[in-house]
Amino acid sequence: MSLSGWRTVWTWLKALPRKAPRAGAYQEPALPAPSGDPGMVWIDAEGVIRVRNPGPQGKTYAVLEVPEDAPITVMVNGQTVDGLQVVTEQDEIRYTLHEQRPVHAWTVEVDEHALTADVVVHYASGWRARLQPCLPCPHLVLHPEQILWEPEDIPVSAIETALNQRHIVEGRLPEGELAAFLQQRQSGRLQVARGIPPQPGEPAPVAWTVEMGSSDESPLRVAAGTVLGRILPAQPGKMGRTVFGTPIAPPELPRPVHAWGTGVMHTDTGDLVARHAGRVRRTETVLDVIPETVLTQSTDTPGVLLVTGDVALVGPWHHATILATGRVRSTDPVDHCVIRAQEGVDLSGRLTHSQVFIGPTVLEDHLRGLIEQILQDVASLDRTMQALQAHAPVTVRLHYGALLVQVLHDKFPNLLSALDLAHRLLAVVDVPVMIRDTLATLTRLTSEAALRQYTEFTELRACQVRMDEALALWTPGPCPNEATTSELGRLRDCIVRGAGTLVMTAAEACEIDGADVLRVRDSIIGGFCRIRHRVQSRQLGHPRGTETVVQTLESTGVVEVDHLYPGTVIVVGTQRHFIRSVLQHVVVDGDPEQVEML
């Protein structure tokens, strides 16, 4: 072939495209390819990084690159490579591939009461880094691939052995269920043992033989010897066992909720028997039979009667004061009387010009008022005697003691009776010791024998100071939460201070205050009613326009009336309604929209 022919073939060969390098060799298309015989770097089949220096015609050395996030550490001549590194055949190149080991951990956890044991397993996959062999290239980027590394299985035998070593034997889970849980190869928790919790017993229940009823019903009265109920045997508890097989004693039985009052006898057979006739009083903590005293007024009846328990008033009563720690009942008229009952009243007769006080603190309030009146009388007696000492003739002063006795009986006739009543109230009212001691001292100092020996009131004045201090420190005790229901008949010109629920037939020109609920079967005409929550009445006011005021203290209170007459004022919370026309079937509450409707 001629020289021109060879040139044509050479030109054609130079025009042919070059073969692309294999995957793994780094290329920089933006840079011109090195001319001649450049340096090369590659990974052989055994995973060793090889380097070849450039030939006689080469002008560049091989470059090794380690990315920042690559799972590999490369050392060139003992120095860690970070980024680009020029390498030669004389360099010592070593590398370490990173890995993350898989997790297959488990623990056995026992709760604080040792009633359950759980196995807690945790699986997490790992990975290994691997370098792939590649062809020689001027620029080699080391970025190993990550190969998934699965965790190993947790053997059932290992868990079973751990349970046996810890002596977890009670309520063990079958081995097959444990193996099925582990085969899922998922993190989680499985209960592998369960103890037996102890079973608490039941306290001795009471099987009532009489119908106690609710607080809204009429009081239950029984005769002496009535069996109120029977205490049944208590149910003992059952032993339990921990997962370790240790016995667990059942909790102790709670103490009986009820205590038996003096009016209830507990027999050996478990019967609860009424010791005497009276009213059954049952609260959350006490069962008792309250005795009832029957009283008939006569000419020699004291003006003030203090009764422990219930009182039954027989016949009409006038101008008397009845103080009772229980309930007061009567079916006859009561006029110009003061009745204080701690547990309610049942006064179905007509009440006129009387005062009725109901609630657990009525006797305590009465005692406080008595003591304040006693202090006023003693202070007035002191001032009187000071005036006598200053202005009386000498002959009078020689008989100072006798004069003092005469002044006490003439000017302060109620002082001694008030002291006597106060001492009787101390038997049923809990007061501080300082008040008891001071009352005893006042009684001694105002006796006739002591007064005849006095020439001045120094000790008596000291008693006044001590009593003032004691009254200031005297705070009422806690009141029981039980709700009482009191029944009253027709009232006229009466004052009622109640607690709980008041149910009455009618009220005319009366002042009723303090109760939670007031229910009137007939009408409320005139007067003032201030109730805490609810008032129910068939009629409020009178066609003649008698002014009648009914108020509920709570803003959510309700007043329900069948017939409402002009002149009536209804106050619910802060909402005030003045009735100017006859209305029927009205329910008044604190809703502003209803105010506009009325």
Residue-wise pLDDT tens digits, 48-87: 999 999 888 778 899 999 998 899 999 999 899 888 999 9
Question: Which pLDDT does position 340 carry in this prediction?
Answer: 95
d(CA 537, CA 559) in angstroms, rounded, equals 8
Residue 29 clears pLDDT 50, i.e. is over it? no
Question: Which pLDDT does position 262 carry in this prediction?
Answer: 85
Whether the CB-CB separation of 365 and 342 falls below 8 Å is answered with no
| Of 62, 58, 70, residue with least CA distance to 43 | 62
Question: Which pLDDT does position 26 carry in this prediction?
Answer: 43
Give the pLDDT mean for 107-127: 91
Residue 1 clears pLDDT 60, i.e. is over it? no
Residue-wise pLDDT tens digits, 186-232: 899 999 999 999 998 887 778 888 776 554 456 788 888 888 888 88
- Range of lowest pLDDT (23-32, 219-228, 378-387, 522-531): 23-32
Name, of 19-23, 281-285, 568-572, the range with top average pLDDT: 568-572
Please state which architecture CATH assigns to domain 206-289: Beta Barrel (2.40)
Give the pLDDT mean for 312-328: 92
Question: Which pLDDT does position 211 carry in this prediction?
Answer: 74
- Range of lowest pLDDT (92-96, 194-198, 445-449): 445-449
The C-alpha angle 56, 59, 63, rounded to 5 degrees, equals: 120
468 — pLDDT class (breaks 50, 70, 90): confident
Could you state, in order of their start, the residue ranges of all structural domains in the chain?
Answer: 36-110+118-185, 206-289, 291-360+480-589, 362-473
Residue 587 clears pLDDT 70, i.e. is over it? yes
Strand partners, 149: 126
Q: Where do runs of H (alpha helix) occur along 171-210?
A: 175-183
Question: Which pLDDT does position 470 carry in this prediction?
Answer: 86
Q: How high is the mean pLDDT of the chain?
A: 84
255 — pLDDT class (breaks 50, 70, 90): low
23 — pLDDT class (breaks 50, 70, 90): very low
Residue 400 clears pLDDT 80, i.e. is over it? no
Give the pLDDT mean for 234-257: 84
Q: Strands 116-124 and 103-110, how do they pair?
A: antiparallel
Give the pLDDT mean for 263-282: 86
28 — pLDDT class (breaks 50, 70, 90): very low
Question: Which pLDDT does position 406 carry in this prediction?
Answer: 80
Residue-wise pLDDT tens digits, 305-317: 999 989 999 999 9
Q: Which residues contact 66 (CB under 8 A, 6 or more apart)?
A: 72, 74, 81, 82, 83, 85, 142
Question: Which pLDDT does position 481 carry in this prediction?
Answer: 58
Residue 598 clears pLDDT 50, i.e. is over it? no
d(CA 321, CA 96) in angstroms, rounded, equals 107
2 — pLDDT class (breaks 50, 70, 90): low
In this structure, whether the domain defined by 362-473 belongs to CATH 1.20.120 is answered with yes
CA 234 to chain centre: 30
d(CA 594, CA 266) in angstroms, rounded, equals 57
Give the pLDDT mean for 506-510: 94
- Range of lowest pLDDT (8-22, 80-94, 140-154, 168-182): 8-22
Residue-wise pLDDT tens digits, 156-195: 999 999 999 999 989 899 989 999 998 888 899 999 999 9
Give the pLDDT mean for 119-148: 91
**320 or 449: which leads in pLDDT:** 320
Residue 507 clears pLDDT 50, i.e. is over it? yes
Residue 597 clears pLDDT 50, i.e. is over it? no
Question: Which pLDDT does position 545 carry in this prediction?
Answer: 84
Beta strands in 88-187 (DSSP E): 93-97, 99-100, 103-110, 116-124, 126-130, 134-137, 139-141, 145-149
